Structure 1
Amino acid sequence: MEMKKRISLELRNRSPAEVAELVVDNCRSSDGEVEGLTDEFKELEFLSMVNVGLTSLAKLPSLPKLRKLELSDNNISGALETLSDKCPNLSYLNLSGNKIKELSSVEALQNLKSLRSLDLFNCEITTLEDYRESVFELLPQVTYLDGFDQEDNEAPDSEADDEAR
């Protein structure tokens, strides 16, 4: 199913401004871009676009209240600066299973001052020497990387994870 169609189904006759949570996992983005999301989704706090074929976040609308973004299993390789412009309050970002290879790609997340949890599991970047130390150094605001803090303590389960079970 195409992303635009899926988003309109997920609205269930609500206006975009009423939606705080949107899950469009496993639908298809026709050109690797975010489709069907607009600036009208100004109350959105949780957005999940897992395995939708995204290669770019360039068309992500401004989502000022977005705190949690799930983007795992896409083909995103960089240009993450869009996130700090469009989603300044992001605290949780899951990019696991994407095509992120370089620390410079992650550097774009430095302006996300609220970012506490970043997941890059199954990205090529995780094979870099001193990967964890480098990311924590680059992004001092991040407490949890791939589910663990700098001392290898596991992140506590959030309520969102409990609801998903």
Structure 2
Amino acid sequence: MYSLSQVTELVLDNCLCVNGEIEGLNDTFKELEFLSMANVELSSLAQLPSLNKLRKLELSDNIISGGLEVLAEKCPNLTYLNLSGNKIKDLSTVEALQNLKNLKSLDLFNCEITNLEDYRESIFELLQQITYLDGFDQEDNEAPDSEEEDDEDGDEDDGDEEEDEAGPPEGYEEEEEDDDEEEDEDEAGSELGEGEEEVGLSYLMKEEIQDEEDDDDYVEEGEEEEEEEEEGLRGEKRKRDAEDDGEEEDD
């Protein structure tokens, strides 16, 4: 079971804030890296606990109007801060963020300060450490979110894999030659098998023809024997007839 000291992300949006703090949010969350407290009617950051590992802080749609210097003390490693929809009106309020040396992205959407003339130029000049203001850099290039950054990393990895797949892997030609040899052997084997089959059929046909010839010879021999027997019988009959005629003449 996880303890509060192991939690790295905490979302408290729409929770009720009492006297500038949310019950239960304290220094116990030592490993917290992402904290969101949007729309909790937060007016002051004075009760914010010390969160040295916090990198992203969402405070949109609250009623914060000042006291931002607390962030450098309580969350010195912030890289992203969202203060959109709060009551921030002038540059002096934002000036306190200069002490957040790692801050790269700041959002002030729907704050009155955005109505100032040369708002963007003034903020970039005041907070030179930031790269993105309200989601865009000084050249109006949109800031990638964390998911897009992950996707880009994944795409780069996929590109490396595709490059690896595009080139023939080691031993590819040898495997292809082996496949060709196996195909040749299979073809030769199939041809040999067909040849053996033909030889077998021819042999059987020859055997059948030979058997038929042997049967014909046997039949012919049998007929000759019968004819000889019949001729013998005829000869004996003629002999008996001749003897009978001789006896009659003697009488």
TM-score bucket (shorter structure)? 0.7 to 0.9
Gaps of 5+ in 1: 1-12
* C-alpha displacement of 1:35: 3.6
Judge conservation of contact 1:50–1:73 (CA < 8 Å) in 2.
yes
The structure where helix makes up a greater share of residues is 2
1:55 and 2:43 correspond: yes
Judge conservation of contact 1:49–1:72 (CA < 8 Å) in 2.
yes
Does the residue aligned with 2:141 lie in a helix, a strand or coil? coil
* C-alpha displacement of 1:161: 9.5
Does the residue aligned with 1:53 lie in a helix, a strand or coil? coil
Letter in 1 for 2:6: E
Does the residue aligned with 2:95 lie in a helix, a strand or coil? helix
* C-alpha displacement of 1:160: 8.5
* C-alpha displacement of 1:30: 2.0
Gaps of 5+ in 2: 151-251
Counterparts of residues 21-40 of structure 1 (less than 5 Å)? 21-40=9-28
1:41 and 2:33 correspond: no
After superposition, what is the alpha-carbon deviation per residue over 1:71-111, rounded to whole angstroms, capped at 9, x for unaligned? 00000001000000000000000000000001011000000
Measured in 1, the distance between the counterparts of 2:114 and 2:17 equals: 26
Q: CA RMSD in A?
A: 1.6
Q: Where does residue 122 of structure 1 map in the other structure?
A: 110
Question: Structure 1 residues 33-42 or 90-99, which shifts more?
Answer: 33-42
Measured in 2, the distance between the counterparts of 1:90 and 1:67 equals: 4
1:76 and 2:67 correspond: no
1:110 and 2:98 correspond: yes
The percent of aligned pairs where both chains have the same amino acid is 77
Change (3 A) 1:146 1:127: same
Q: Where does residue 81 of structure 2 map in the other structure?
A: 93
**Relative contact order (C-alpha < 8 Å, sep 6+): which is higher?**
1
Does the residue aligned with 2:57 lie in a helix, a strand or coil? strand
Runs of 4+ that moved beyond 4 A: none
Measured in 2, the distance between the counterparts of 1:34 and 1:116 equals: 27
Change (3 A) 1:129 1:116: same
Question: Structure 1 residues 57-66 or 153-162, which shifts more?
Answer: 153-162
Count matched residues. 150
Q: Where does residue 4 of structure 2 map in the other structure?
A: 16
Structure number, greater radius of gyration: 2
Measured in 1, the distance between the counterparts of 2:146 and 2:96 equals: 26
